[in-house]
Chains A and B, each alone.
Chain A
Amino acid sequence: MDTLIHLAFWAMLQQGVPIVPERASSVAKQIDYLYYFLTGVTLFFSALIFSLVFYFAVRYRQRHPDERPQPIHGSLGLEVLWSAIPLGLTMVMFFWGAHLFYIVRTPPSDATQLYVVGKQWMWKIQHPEGQREINALHVPVGRPVKLTMTSEDVIHSFYIPAFRIKMDVLPGRYTELWFTATKAGTYHLFCAEYCGAKHSGMIGWVTVLEPADYEAWLSGAPAGESLEQAGARLFRQHNCHTCHEAGPTSRGPSLHEILGKQVRLASGETVVVDEGYLRESILQPNAKVVAGYESVMPTYQGQISEEGILQLIAYLKSLTRAEGKAQP
């Protein structure tokens, strides 16, 4: 049986039938090598067991109904051997996989930040310069890109097979994904968490462009305001500045350099301010109030969309950078 599978594989490869997708990200090749290792181990042990079973079945077939095979209780040596070898191999798999996983889950600090909002049944993507895409994502070759994602309704999952990456997209919180595209081309984007009727329709295309072509695309794509500008507009529109401009009588904490800061809450705990905390503070302001301030912030649930919140966050991130630049 196993020989047949090997033959079929080989025949398919000869015909040019792919068994791995295109490699278009910086991690794809490494993950494919790990995959080949796993496949090799699988084929080896499957072939081994199939052959041994087949061989023993034939070699030791009953030739005489009165045959009396010697009983063999067992062998401690063999038990140790065939526990230790699988243990060793699996530990190699674990460390190799964990190492690559760490890379896949740790975005570089200079990654371009894009935002993704998933909803039944489409993907909405926002570029920092303001371009918006639906079910499409344009990125340049060679530059790390970080996606911060949320869902408006149920759990979805953002999956680009050619990049070998995937991350669930959840309502009520942010998840992250990062990649560096390495090869120009068009690749599938799939939703990979069942989300209702049009789950298999929640698909799109990732277009990777050479840097020059990407710049061309950026200037060609309808932009309007950048994310930061949109966020600044919302900040004023919803009167956030009336409580949050820095000053001793300010009713709310200052938001300058707020991202990454450690704040002490009224409950005594300390949290590090990240995108998730900012989102929660806008939608459920009384869940984690900063120590020394009253719980008077109104909720903006229903008044600001998920995209709006992401724009506000982009704006708040810019406050951090601007402050840094403004230092004498």
Chain B
Amino acid sequence: MNAARPAANQMPKVHYLNVDYGIRSWLFTIDHKRIALLYLGSITLFFVLGGLFATAIRLELLTPAGDLFESETYNKMFTMHGVVMIFFFLIPSIPATLGNFLVPMMIGARDLAFPRINLLSWYIYTLGGLFTLFAILSGGVDTGWTFYTPYSSTYSNTNVMATAVGVFILGFSSILTGFNFIITIHKMRAPGLTWFRLPLFIWAHYATSVIMILGTPVVAIAIALVGLERLFHIGIFNPALGGDPVLFQHLFWFYSHPAVYIMILPSMGVISEIVCCFSRKKIFGYSFVAFSSIAIALLGFLVWGHHMFVSSQSMYAGMVFSILSFLVAIPSAVKVFNWTATMYKGSVMYNAPMLYAMGFIGLFTMGGLTGLFLSTLATDVHLHDTYFVVAHFHYIMVGGALMGYLGGIHFWWPKISGRLYPEAWARFSALIIFVGFNLTFFPQFILGYLGMPRRYHAYPPEFQVLNVMSTAGASILAVGYAIPLIYLFWSLRYGPAAGPNPWQAKGLEWQTSSPPPTHNFPETPVVTEEAYEYYPGAEAERV
């Protein structure tokens, strides 16, 4: 019920997918849509790999004793889970797939500003991925994804160098993507498309791109210095040779905190698009949502020290970082309220993308609020490096970012593939994911306050019940992720043709065929209305 009626349309005769055949036409493409699909394939593979590591972790944690793996192996499992999921899945996910596909289309352009650099960014991603795969397959790495020194620079005897090189290279892929988006959004908007008529997806990607270009180089240098230290036995972070291990933490977190905003902002952009479409309503508070993305991007650079409250950082520095961390939470709260208000007096439909979006709103709220426990100095002392932190960031990254990603994939699937996915299966998996997710991660909040540290291979027996609940949830979650993989592939062949605009959504991308032609639009569109003008000409209600 309440599903959008699909337009009974044929697929266009020639479109970006069938204009050219053969592996060369894909590997040497400069079409942003094909590049988006190249990325989609790669990040899906890495997601599965990261998921396998997660499975290993949760299986080991079923019992208190470390009886499934040796400690060294377990330590590699959680390290590689983190490295793969963060650098090779979450950071590129939405920007490199949905962003690459949609940014030019949403602004009425034929492609990004630098299509060859776009393709280069995928090759760089792949090269970084290969180095990291090599590191994983030839013995693994066990430093934790955070590479803290001096363990990573002096003591670990695992494949730190190869992993560091892989991540260093990957950083350039991120920088090039962000760089491309910034120039494109500034310079290539269609006539009439002023900044304040842009879809919020574009604002979100713009803010994300600013973070990508400013933050990534700093983690590059942090990792490069660790590499130099390992290679030449110099002592930049080694106190035995005069260095300071905490300097690494500053350089690392200066990027890695803004990095979490790289991971969540694009998702927020997706949610804005979906909520408006499936409430049939313009966003509530457009400029507030737009500016909140920018505010998050900028403020996000000022809070890195909240990862270091107990690292020997001074008490007063801690207070400064704490108060700034609270400030960065406010724009996120503003977004949540605005999305909710958009549904008020709307015309709400329960399609799968909307189910993902509603799940996002609730779970992101919980994840964000639990972040406040960690910005609060006194509670962070107790909770730092416990499972509470693990639960917090998984609520945001999995309950938030990943659900936004899945919602977006479903929402734009008809545009990307020209076909409709099976709605019933999609709603079913969304529900399974929601239930499985909460069962997996909610117990971890409790484990954290009870004192269970993270990165523990074995744990005291009183923590077992909650760990078993968590693993049970993970098995449900895995099923929830597997199902879309199957039916999305299935729909490529058997899904009904979608037509240009099956959701009757607003946005330039819906004004062209599904799938679109290579150059997106037969003629450059001209924009004359505001964003999300679902019922143009209607008088706006005063609140």
Contact = CB atoms under 8 A, between A and B. Distances in A.
Given A31-B382, A71-B282, A199-B456, A154 B334 contact: no
A86 B323 CA distance: 13
B495 interface: no
A53 interface: yes
B6 interface: no
Contacts of B315: 101-102, 105
Contacts of A199: 71, 75, 455-457
Interface of B: 2, 5, 66, 71-72, 75, 142-144, 148-151, 154-156, 239-240, 242, 244-246, 279-282, 284-288, 309-312, 315, 318-319, 322-323, 326-327, 329-330, 333-334, 336-338, 340-341, 343-350, 358, 361-362, 365-366, 369-370, 372-373, 375-382, 384-386, 434, 438, 442, 446, 449-451, 453-460, 465, 532-535, 538-541, 543
Interface in A104-119: 104-105
Nearest to A120: B155
A260 interface: no
Interface stretch (A129-137, A165-173, A209-217, A261-269): A165-173
A232 B426 CA distance: 75
A65 B239 CA distance: 68
Interface string A79-120: 100110011001101101111111011000000000000001
Interface stretch (A190-198, A218-226, A315-323): A190-198
Interface string A145-185: 00000000111010101101111101111010000000000
Nearest to A12: B446
Contacts of B457: 199-200
A240 interface: no
Given A86-B330, A102-B315, A196-B155, A154 B150 contact: yes
A79 B334 contact: yes
B376 A57 contact: no
A198 B71 contact: yes
Interface of A: 1-2, 5, 17-21, 27, 30-31, 34-35, 38, 41-42, 45-46, 49-50, 52-54, 56-57, 60-62, 65, 67-75, 77-79, 82-83, 86-87, 90-91, 93-94, 96-102, 104-105, 120, 153-155, 157, 159, 161-162, 164-168, 170-173, 175, 188, 190-201, 284
A166 B381 contact: yes
Contacts of A20: 449-450
Nearest to A41: B369
18 contacts: A41-B369, A53-B340, A60-B344, A68-B538, A71-B532, A78-B341, A79-B334, A83-B330, A90-B372, A100-B378, A101-B319, A159-B453, A162-B451, A166-B385, A168-B312, A193-B385, A196-B156, A201-B458
Contacts of A201: 71, 458
A79 B338 CA distance: 8
A68 B518 CA distance: 34
Given A31-B378, A105-B315, A49 B540 contact: no
B233 to A, nearest CB: 16
B513 to A, nearest CB: 23
Q: Which of A74, A105, A153 has the most CB of B within 10 A?
A: A74
Contacts of A34: 376, 378-379
A187 B9 CA distance: 68
A167 B543 CA distance: 50
Closest CB pairs A-B (n = 10): A172-B239, A161-B451, A100-B378, A97-B376, A101-B377, A74-B285, A90-B326, A200-B456, A56-B343, A75-B543
Contacts of A30: 378
Given A46-B362, A50-B362, A74 B288 contact: yes
Given A20-B449, A155-B151, A31 B379 contact: yes
Given A52-B340, A200-B71, A175 B312 contact: yes
B540 A159 contact: no
A77 B370 CA distance: 27
Contacts of B149: 155
Given A60-B347, A74-B285, A83-B330, A191 B453 contact: yes
Contacts of A197: 71-72, 75, 142
Given A69-B279, A72-B281, A171 B245 contact: yes
B344 A56 contact: yes
B376 A194 contact: no
Contact of A200 (B376, B459, B538): B459
Nearest to A35: B379
Contact of A1 (B155, B309, B434, B459): B434
Given A49-B365, A199-B456, A171 B538 contact: no
